[in-house]
Amino acid sequence: MKTRTIGGLAVSALGLGCMSMSSAYGPPADKQEMIKLIRAAFDRGVTFFDTAEAYGPFANEELVGEALQPIRDHVVIGTKFGFDIDQKTGARTGGTNSRPEHIRLVAENSLRRLKTDVIDIFYQHRVDPAVPIEDVAGVLKELIAEGKLRHYGLSEPGVATLRRAHAIHPVAAVQNEYSLFYRGAEAEMLPTVEELGIGFVPFSPLGAGFLTGKIDENTKFDETDFRNHVPRFSSEARKANMALVDVVKNVAERKGATPAQVALAWLLAQKPWIVPIPGTTKLHRVEENLGAADLELTAADLAEIDVMASKIEIKGERLPEAALKMTGL
């Protein structure tokens, strides 16, 4: 597996997003099977694993911690804080909480759940409008000095917020949504992280599964699947947005690849400091996704994708209104 660098950390060119193993895409998968999957991903070259206290809550960190404990020194773990979650019960208010004392408490609990003495990248999951980002970066800087964190990052911040945080202590990575299905990062965020020397970790690099070509307007999601509440995944929007999938499929057929591999290879081709974190609960999907690291898209391929995609107007917002309001974008 090829490697890339984020915040001085060498990681596999493709990471593994672990959220779907415990939440968001339907009922949690079997824990022991997911432990096997995570270790199988490592055996195939994956060294970058992404989780968060909010996934479960807590269950995903516990899963990742148990799975990676035997190989902890050989992997990079990113996790997140920032939601108002009761650290004893897991109860959530639905709001944000980045008060310095809460960040410290979450850090200690995440360290315990992850069975480690240091977190490689600790992301603020969403910007807290009630707490100045300087205060957040300040306590993270202290935790780094104390040896509890190696680096910190921000998820879905605005450019101004990112600059303010970076001025207090260098930000290692920004984790925002980015794919052919949502390209909002291109206008301001990607030029900014390039200027500042910050890594970029796209979540939902396959458009929450849409770019795999396995979803159409007739697909039924489990009642607990978050996509039921996403405007972009309404039946009408999916039908209209299939035009983008067709673009990816056409390139995939010519390259002898799958649509997912083309979508991931397109991301990898954008910048050398981009590390996507596709998630899955199936080993054959892990293997398929990793094939993207060896798929070379030529300049002509990339130009074709951009020209064809630019003619398509994506229908529907990428998140429900309440979730959009919690981003800094």
Task: Render pLDDT for 101-134 as a digit per residue (tens, 0 to 9).
Answer: 999 999 999 999 999 999 999 999 999 999 999 9
Long-range contacts of 306-315 (CB under 8 A, 24+ apart): 308/247, 309/180, 309/244, 309/247, 312/241, 312/243, 312/244, 312/247, 314/181, 314/182, 314/232, 314/241, 314/244, 315/232, 315/236, 315/237, 315/240, 315/241
pLDDT of residue 329: 86
Please confirm, yes or no, whether 25 is among the known catalytic residues: no
Tell whether the model's pLDDT for residue 1 goes beyond 90: yes
| Mean pLDDT on 139-149 | 98
Instruction: Kindly report, residue by residue over 97-106, the tens digit of the pLDDT.
Output: 999 999 999 9
Tell whether the model's pLDDT for residue 77 goes beyond 90: yes
Domains located in the chain, CATH noted: 3-325 (3.20.20.100)
Instruction: Kindly report, residue by residue over 268-302, the tens digit of the pLDDT.
Output: 999 999 999 999 999 999 999 999 999 999 999 99
Q: Using CA atoms, how far apart are residues 68 and 40, in angstroms rounded to an integer? A: 11
Q: Given strand 48-50, what is the order of strands in its sheet?
A: 16-17, 48-50, 76-81, 119-124, 149-155, 173-175, 199-200
Q: Establish how many alpha carbons lie within 13 A of residue 131's alpha carbon, considering only the half-sphere containing its beta carbon.
A: 24
Catalytic residue among 55, 123, 178, 182: 55
**Band of residue 92 on the pLDDT scale cut at 50, 70, 90:** very high
For residue 121, which amino acid is it?
A: I
Instruction: Kindly report, residue by residue over 15-51, the tens digit of the pLDDT.
Output: 999 999 999 999 999 999 999 999 999 999 999 999 9
**β-strands 9-12, 3-6 pairing:** antiparallel
pTM for the whole thing?
0.98
